[in-house]
A and B are shown apart, each in its own frame.
Chain A
């Protein structure tokens, strides 16, 4: 198969040069079947695991420095260590991928569900628990079907359930379909939803899932991609895993790149070794900006991330570098916008998403995000007022007390404000809506002013 091309049966996936840790089977059209999985080393990691001690497995994962791939980037091995010695305890798989721009977990679930199931069993074994809940986003019917089918096959083959692979280890995986809410990607809201309640986040503390999670029992919530890494790590060892990526961030990441690039898609990329510039312009990746236009801005880590600009292009894809520069790598969704993009419209587009997806629990997010949306819409409708620009920033500051993380602006001599933002809310959804506003106004304030000046709204002087 030729490299650097789309794979027809795996919509959105770009098969490029480089190591394949989680996307190794995407090349096969039948990658989601048990037969393909078994014929390509599937469940070998699990079988190896079942003949180890749980603590040994956990030690391997900790040694591999497997950073969580859901957004926060916390080491999975360390997170596992937070569980108090209390049973029952649960593993919950966060398959509610819905960050704007992100679609890598969908591919993992659609294209290689057995890899995920294997990862779940390895994690359950390491954590000494026997019930895993797999929560799949409501709007992903193909992923749901594939996982359900894969689970049935795995159960039938004795790879999940009672006495797995002839050992005395029994682990059940319970499949749960979401009802369609972005907020349920937040781990405590996901737990609420799983319990049958309205998906609304819980306050941390006291409700840290590792201590008081599902049904108030210790619970580990891991991202799909995080778990999908486990079979490779166990099969090949932590040392081999650390051969890839950087010292601080070993291994690869699936990056979902969308927007104004020539070849948008999901790429498996070694962490910390590739810069944004190489990613956007490199032959092995996106191959340049669409129509060879100029880059205007890009979102480095999903809709929640503050925007980056030309100046940040040479940053490596390394969480430790991106944070101090004023944004985050987040869930691995990168949105590229060229010079034809209207900054105000782009800002509204992202803000509207958060306003619509606010769960309604905390006052600042519920009321603030919709107010931001209304102001932006009004500016675009030609009824903006000069004070609206600062008002936007101040409404944002009511949700996320300033200073809000933002990239440096060398031309105006402003320094970067490092990630993460402060918040007056329980979860980061509301503060996320401030990211596009702060980023766009700081960089493109004249665009806002021009829109406001372009029309003379009726009654504006009143």
Chain B
């Protein structure tokens, strides 16, 4: 289509800019705008292959050549690399232009195998589309085509068919420029040029699936989707990824009522179209045969047996009514749920049941006061050109990969300076402006020194130069954003909170992003699934209509609930999509709690270790099967939409809450999603004007700022635990691929989970006289020693030892003890 559809949008009064003539009509482009983009804004589509608006143009496919006259005569120019200049005359329909388009397509097709009938891309293929619209119709090529082995796996998830490849450089550019994993490149030259991996190095990138999505032909295909459906059989719905708290916008594709694909949607505010492979391929779990599909109760012999919903609900009501005091009930989980379901469960438990022992975080998050109360940044404001970002948290590539891509772009292209205050060197590598990797326990001390300007001498392993650079950036008049997370499960949140206090004192204008990894955890906290708060971060004392039985005193967090169970003061434990036995850092505490607790109720989608111990199991519908809303780390709401029918007797979580309320003789006040949303709008500050059904049509949802009437109370007085000269400070963090329930349930992803090893700095390993890769004896305090593999890793600071959590191999939870500010371990050669 090359018609000019929208001429009025360029009126000079409203859009002063660069005047130019496009197919005889005068338009205005923005300053520096590329011709291909300016033409698109004015309704003129210029065909292209290599150009991608989120990557640096390279101008190599030559499909976007158009005739341009800048005063020196008309000539063919690539519109993807040509900024509009004043009075440029462009003709996208002239004979030279159409001849060039025709020629490029004929040449692209001479070696293309034209195996469209068996190609995944057939039907949604830019090469097909452009060939129909701009191509010559038939080929004059009678020679033998180029042949390669097809297809070859370039990773566990991606296959490459070099015969189909048109060498547009999109995948290779993405790998090096966007993902920072330059593992695929061109080899050979001329017509023998091909994309391939380097010998012995597969394309192992957390972002490999994006190359499949941006491939303009069927050269790159995703193993989970290969031959699963034809594009014309697909039905699409826009939704929001619930894999992590970034809230990447996605499109769910189903065929025959099965989810078969997730594509990234280009949202300016969040993911720019990119997804991690976890966000992209997690849909496989939805269709897993391991799903819970019917309610279960424990029979006389102790076996979990199927039952009917009304029987299961009855038992839940009894278990919730039995305790003499709501403080003898504990609830763990809720980050898996939609905002609406979170509200329904919060209202059931807090509003009707006076229970406040509720925590959506499993001891690996941040104090709710920080998450709810700190002034929020947005991803865009953090990434704005010239900004400063302080990363007081984990390696974002491992925990929030799409946020990592946005920040990486901001550093590489927009002059954003990153101050890294992480327990070890993150994936930002040498792109950081200042690197401080404090030993666990010293995080607060470092932040205090930055606030006080005491940066003349080194502190621990942080040099005066790095401290000074960080100090200058922190107090500069550039916009400062602190990305706050839990970089170390073995360092207490008190220490992080004290560091936050120092950073706020240093720069009161600093804004915050809380980089929590659990999907809708921000929604859970906002809806009150955390001790001490009613929805909208209101205090327990607030009067909320319909929440008549709200608790009056602050309850326990997950660690407290588990301890209460161990102490015999907890009768009923409710799990809302939580598996504390494997997911709570101190697995010994969780195991002891399950030994002592009375009744366990689990609302879940899979039979996890914890659900296997439950007395009543209620099967829930999950992502892709339910309508609802997501609240991301910015506080931005966006829609979660159902695409397929939920299996068996599963139900949406909010319906289960309503069912339990009704069976208990209560009334949540809603029986439809619309009524539920009205209840939220009426009772939760900030949600009164949300247009729930209008958030789902491409536009980025609004940020619910939730203006707080209170400030988090922070002190800089966290204890600084003395270091033990003989021990190493433990750092436990998360990897993208871990033994999470969903990852293991997705057939293509479970193989991605690697073995954990303990990593120590080369200097420490040399001091301990342990060769890298050897087994060593590791013990915490006076506890039993474990034999683990110890590797040398220069990213670990001297004096620390690092283990990723919840992988195969070394079990980090062996070393984690609840309630310690830091954990020191001893490593000895065997």
Contact = CB atoms under 8 A, between A and B. Distances in A.
A375 B78 contact: no
B140 A391 contact: yes
B193 interface: yes
Interface string A395-409: 101110100000000
Interface stretch (A152-160, A165-173, A216-224, A350-358): A350-358
Contact of B111 (A367, A375, A425, A426): A367
B107 A363 contact: yes
Contacts of B76: 401, 422, 424
Interface string A341-379: 000000000000001111111111011111100110010
A358 B190 contact: yes
A366 B81 contact: no
Contact of B185 (A181, A198, A361): A198
Given A356-B190, A360-B188, A401-B99, A425 B62 contact: yes
Contacts of B186: 198, 360
B190 A369 contact: yes
Nearest to B172: A198
B335 to A, nearest CB: 44
A362 B111 contact: no
A356 B188 CA distance: 10
Contacts, number: 94
B615 to A, nearest CB: 63
Nearest to A359: B189
B191 interface: yes
A364 B81 contact: no
B9 to A, nearest CB: 28
A285 B500 CA distance: 83
B114 to A, nearest CB: 15
B590 interface: no
A363 B192 CA distance: 12
B193 A364 contact: no
A413 interface: no
A331 B119 CA distance: 47
A374 B106 contact: no
B190 A363 contact: no
Contacts of A367: 107-108, 110-111, 191
Contact of A360 (B58, B78, B140, B193): B193
Contacts of A85: none
Contacts of A361: 58, 60
Nearest to B191: A370
Interface in A15-67: none
Contacts of B140: 391, 394
A198 B167 CA distance: 14
Given A203-B59, A426-B60, A371 B189 contact: no
Given A364-B103, A370-B190, A426 B63 contact: no
A422 B65 CA distance: 13
Interface string A177-189: 0000100000000
Contacts of A363: 60-63, 104, 107-108, 166-167
Interface secondary structure of A, over-half rule: helix
Given A362-B60, A375-B143, A378-B143, A357 B104 contact: no
A461 interface: no
Nearest to B141: A371
B103 A424 contact: yes
Contacts of B75: 422
Contacts of B686: none
Nearest to A385: B142
A207 to B, nearest CB: 9
A368 B104 CA distance: 9
B96 interface: yes
B354 interface: no
Nearest to A387: B140
Interface in B87-117: 96, 99-100, 103-104, 106-108, 110-111
Nearest to B194: A360
B428 to A, nearest CB: 22
A360 B190 contact: yes
A29 B586 CA distance: 82
A355 B62 CA distance: 18
Contacts of A375: 143
Contacts of B96: 401
Interface string B125-141: 00000000000000011
Given A367-B108, A398-B107, A401-B76, A362 B190 contact: no
A410 interface: no
A446 interface: no
A358 B189 contact: yes
Contacts of A359: 189-190, 193
Contacts of A198: 185-186
A394 B193 CA distance: 23
A368 B78 CA distance: 18
A349 to B, nearest CB: 16
A357 B59 CA distance: 20
Contacts of A371: 107, 110, 141, 143
Contacts of B107: 363-364, 366-368, 371, 395, 398
Contact of B65 (A181, A356, A369, A424): A424
A426 B58 CA distance: 10
A425 B61 CA distance: 9
B97 to A, nearest CB: 10
A369 B107 CA distance: 10
Contacts of A366: 107, 167, 190-191, 193
A206 interface: yes
B72 to A, nearest CB: 13
A203 B78 contact: yes
A374 B81 contact: no
Interface in B417-471: none
Interface string A192-209: 000000100001001000
Contacts of A374: 143
A374 B111 CA distance: 12
B264 to A, nearest CB: 27
Contacts of A394: 140
Contacts of A181: 189
Nearest to B60: A361
Contact of A355 (B65, B185, B190): B190
A361 B59 CA distance: 9
A356 B166 CA distance: 18
A424 B190 contact: no
Contact of B100 (A206, A369, A424): A424
Nearest to B168: A363
Contacts of B103: 364, 397-399, 424
A334 B76 CA distance: 31
Nearest to A182: B189
Contacts of B167: 360, 363, 366
A199 to B, nearest CB: 9
A192 to B, nearest CB: 12
Given A203-B78, A370-B190, A371-B141, A398 B106 contact: yes
A209 B795 CA distance: 38
A391 B190 CA distance: 20
Interface string B160-195: 000000110000000000000000011011111100
A361 B50 CA distance: 11
Given A359-B193, A422-B76, A424-B103, 10 more contacts: A360-B167, A363-B104, A363-B166, A364-B104, A371-B107, A378-B143, A398-B103, A398-B106, A401-B99, A426-B60
Closest A-B pairs by Cβ, 7 of them: A360-B193, A398-B103, A370-B191, A367-B107, A358-B190, A374-B143, A361-B60
23 contacts: A203-B59, A355-B191, A358-B191, A361-B60, A362-B60, A362-B62, A363-B62, A363-B166, A364-B103, A364-B107, A367-B107, A371-B107, A371-B110, A375-B143, A391-B140, A398-B103, A398-B104, A401-B76, A422-B75, A422-B76, A424-B62, A424-B103, A426-B60
Interface of B: 58-63, 65, 75-76, 78, 81, 96, 99-100, 103-104, 106-108, 110-111, 140-141, 143, 166-167, 185-186, 188-193
